[in-house]
């Protein structure tokens, strides 16, 4: 069986429920491209994830177009991570946040030398922001600033 076609499926489902059609982001321009300039084993890797991950003690995300970011120390204890979201089934993310925030695998690959190292912090936010304008004008530029501050060579983006 092929991949799930989410766009038509969600469109049809919302139409049946009487909701307004959702305006999916469609970028028709060529994707920008920056080649990797050195081997992965020499690259410092960053991580940004949209699954609503925060550290206990931080203010949790809210569920209505929350464009704020949380800074997750790369040496955080995995058991202090929490997940909040309105639009996906959280049971597995709350059992093991690595399913949407692969911090343990990244730390292991850094120890093994598969990647050169990790940023000192990772970044999380809340997905399901219904305004793509607010994502591109508010959230994305702040994320980019942080990646530059972090001195990363490449960033793994993990949406839900």
Binding positions for another protein, 34-63, rule CB under 8 A: 34-36, 39-40, 43, 45, 51, 55-63
Alpha helical stretches, state H, the chain: 6-17, 91-95, 103-111, 132-134, 140-150
Q: d(Cα 132, Cα 124) in Å, to the nearest integer?
A: 17
Query: Nearest approach, Cβ of 32 to another protein (angstroms)?
Result: 6
Choosing from 15, 42, 104, 142, the residue that interacts with another protein (CB under 8 A) is 104
Query: Nearest approach, Cβ of 92 to another protein (angstroms)?
Result: 4
Q: d(Cα 143, Cα 50) in Å, to the nearest integer?
A: 12
Distances (CA, A) of 145 to 92, 110, 139, 158: 31, 23, 10, 18
Tell whether residue 95 is a contact of another protein (CB under 8 A): yes
For the segment 2-21, give every residue that binds another protein (CB under 8 A): 3-7, 9-10, 13, 16-17
Structure token digits, residue 137: 């004008």
Tell whether residue 75 is a contact of another protein (CB under 8 A): no
Query: Nearest approach, Cβ of 61 to another protein (angstroms)?
Result: 7
Write down the residue that tokens 């190292």 correspond to: 117
Choosing from 20, 89, 133, 148, the residue that interacts with another protein (CB under 8 A) is 89
Query: Nearest approach, Cβ of 13 to another protein (angstroms)?
Result: 6
Write down the residue that tokens 């790369």 correspond to: 74
Query: Nearest approach, Cβ of 21 to another protein (angstroms)?
Result: 14
52 neighbors 84 (Cβ within 8 angstroms): yes
Q: d(Cα 98, Cα 131) in Å, to the nearest integer?
A: 27
Tell whether residue 121 is a contact of another protein (CB under 8 A): yes
């Amino acid at each position: 069986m092929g991949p799930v076609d989410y766009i038509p499926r969600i469109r049809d489902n919302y139409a049946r429920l009487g909701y307004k059609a959702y305006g999916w982001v469609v970028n028709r321009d060529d994707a920008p491209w920056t080649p990797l300039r050195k081997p992965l084993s020499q690259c410092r890797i960053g991580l940004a994830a949209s699954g609503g991950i925060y550290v206990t003690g931080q203010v949790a995300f809210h569920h209505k177009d929350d464009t704020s970011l949380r800074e997750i120390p790369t040496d955080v204890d995995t058991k202090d991570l929490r997940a909040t979201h309105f639009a996906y089934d959280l049971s597995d993310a709350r059992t093991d946040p690595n399913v949407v925030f692969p911090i343990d695998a990244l730390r292991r690959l850094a120890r093994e030398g598969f990647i050169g190292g990790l940023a000192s912090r990772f970044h999380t936010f809340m997905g399901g922001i219904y305004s793509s304008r607010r994502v591109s004008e508010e959230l994305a530029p702040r994320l980019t600033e942080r990646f530059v501050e972090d001195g990363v060579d490449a960033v793994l983006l993990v949406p839900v």
